[in-house]
A and B are shown apart, each in its own frame.
Chain A
Amino acid sequence: MRQRIRWGSLVFTFLLLVALVSLPIMVGCAGDDATTTTAGGTETSDTSMAPPEQDKIIIGAARPVSGVNSFFEENAFGPAYKLWVQDVNAAGGINVAGKMLPVEMKVYDDQSDLDTSMRLLTKLMEEDKVDFVFPPTSTAFLFAAAGVANAHNYILMSAEGGATTLEKEMEKGDLPYYFQALSYSNHDQMPAFAEILNEAGAKTAAVVYLDDLHGIEYQAQAAVFLSGAGVEIVSNVAIPGDIKDMSSIIKQIQERNPDVVAFFAYPPQNILAMQTMIQLNYNPKAVLLGPGGSFQFFANIFGPAMEGVMFEGAWSVNSSPEAKAYYDKLADFMGTTDNIDFWGAIIYRAELEFFQQAIEKAGTLDQDKIAEVMRTEHFPTVMSPDTFFTNGIFDVSSYSGQIGQWQNGVAEVIDVGDKRTAAPIYPKPSWPAPTETTAGQ
Chain B
Amino acid sequence: MNAFRDIFLTGLLLGGIFALVSVGLSLQYGVARVLNVAHGEFIMVGAFITFWMLGSINLNPLVSLVITGPAVFIMGLILHKTLFRRLMDTSPSLDVFEGKSMLASFGLLYVVQNLARIIWGSDVEGYNFLNSTVTAAQIPLNRLVALGFVIVLGVAFYLFLARTRLGKAIRASAQSPTTAELMGVNIHNVLAICFGLGLGLAGIAGSLLSTLFAIQTSIGLGYTVIAMVVVVLGGLGSITGAMIGGVILGLVSSTVTFFQPSLTMIAYYVIFIVLLLSRPKGIMGK
Contacts and interface: CB of A to CB of B under 8 A. Distances in A.
A–B proximity contact (CB within 8 A): yes
A281 B139 CA distance: 11
Interface string A402-441: 0000000000000000000000000000000011111111
Interface stretch (B5-13, B153-161, B165-173, B180-188): B5-13
A303 interface: yes
Contacts of B121: 74
Contacts of B96: none
A211 B10 CA distance: 22
Q: Which of A280, A281, A440 has the most B CB atoms < 10 Å from its CB?
A: A440
Interface stretch (A146-154, A233-241, A346-354): A233-241
Nearest to A67: B218
Contact of A245 (B117, B138, B254): B254
A271 B218 CA distance: 16
B122 A275 contact: no
A271 B131 contact: no
Interface string A276-299: 101111000000000010000100
Given A242-B222, A441-B125, 6 more contacts: A71-B122, A240-B261, A272-B214, A278-B132, A279-B131, A437-B60
A247 B255 CA distance: 12
Nearest to B61: A437
Given A243-B264, A272-B213, A279-B140, A438 B128 contact: yes
Contacts of B129: 436-437
A302 B130 CA distance: 12
A437 B54 contact: yes
Contacts, number: 129
Interface in B86-128: 114, 117, 121-128
Interface residues of B, number: 46
Given A239-B262, A244-B213, A248-B254, A271 B138 contact: no
A303 B128 contact: yes
A70 B133 contact: no
A108 to B, nearest CB: 16
A274 to B, nearest CB: 9
A31 interface: no
B123 A297 contact: yes
Q: What 6 A-B pairs are tightest by C-beta distance, nearest first?
A: A434-B132, A238-B262, A70-B122, A271-B214, A71-B122, A248-B258
Nearest to A292: B124
A80 B261 CA distance: 36
B213 A245 contact: no
Interface in B1-24: 6-7, 10, 13-14, 17
A243 B129 CA distance: 19
Interface in B128-150: 128-133, 138, 140-141
Given A71-B216, A280-B133, A245 B13 contact: yes
B240 interface: no
Given A247-B6, A279-B138, A268 B265 contact: no
A66 B117 contact: yes
A271 B128 CA distance: 10
Interface residues of A, number: 48
Interface string B68-81: 00000000000000
Nearest to B129: A437
A439 B216 contact: no
A244 B138 contact: no
A439 B59 CA distance: 11
Given A267-B214, A268-B214, A280-B138, A437 B13 contact: no
Given A71-B216, A439-B55, A239 B261 contact: yes
A244 B218 CA distance: 16
Contact of B123 (A67, A74, A239, A303): A74
A75 B257 contact: no
A209 B188 CA distance: 50
A301 B127 contact: yes
A145 B51 CA distance: 36
A240 B264 CA distance: 7
Contacts of A280: 133, 138
Nearest to B9: A247
Contacts of A242: 222, 226, 264-265
B58 interface: yes
Nearest to B17: A244
B133 A279 contact: yes
Contacts of A88: none
A215 B151 CA distance: 37
A244 B131 contact: no
A247 B257 CA distance: 9
B28 interface: no
Interface in A155-174: none
B131 A434 contact: yes
Interface in A331-376: 338-339
B172 to A, nearest CB: 36
A322 interface: no
A246 B51 CA distance: 23
A302 B214 CA distance: 12
A268 B213 contact: yes
Given A71-B216, A245-B254, A247-B10, A240 B262 contact: yes
Nearest to A252: B258
Contacts of B216: 71, 268
A73 B212 CA distance: 26
A245 B14 contact: yes
A251 interface: yes
B207 interface: no
B26 interface: no
Given A247-B10, A248-B254, A339 B123 contact: yes
A240 B55 contact: no
B253 interface: yes
B132 A440 contact: no
A243 B261 contact: yes
Nearest to B262: A238
Contacts of A237: 261-262
Q: Which of B58, B121, B127, B253 has the most A CB atoms < 10 Å from its CB?
A: B127
B127 A440 contact: yes
Contacts of A248: 6-7, 10, 254, 257-258
